[in-house]
Amino acid sequence: MNPSSQSTVEKNNVNLIKLKSKLQSLEESFKNNPLYITSNEIDEVKNNTLHTKITAWNWSRSFAED
């Protein structure tokens, strides 16, 4: 293996370790804060004329509106 490709492999391994750590942290945060949505909240979203398209932006923003 030449030095250039070895360096790339090492960088990829470091990035994978960082990603794994972040995913484990995210998993722990979900364990401590269960997410759920009620039928009433689903109906509100379906009947809401202001947000006709559900996107990650307006879905996450809806938590700040409460």
The residue segments making up the domain with residue 6 are 1-34
Residues 44 and 60 in one domain: yes
End-to-end CA distance of the chain: 56
Whole-model pTM over 0.95: no
Residues 30 and 44 in one domain: no
pLDDT band at residue 58 using 50, 70 and 90 as cut-offs = low
DSSP string for 17-39: HHHHHHHHHHHHHHHHS-----H
What are the C-alpha distances in Å from 41 to residues 3, 13, 36, 57?
56, 42, 10, 17
Contact present, 45 and 54 (Cβ < 8 Å)? yes
Residues 27 and 50 in one domain: no
Highest mean pLDDT among 12-21, 29-38, 56-65: 12-21
Residues 30 and 41 in one domain: no
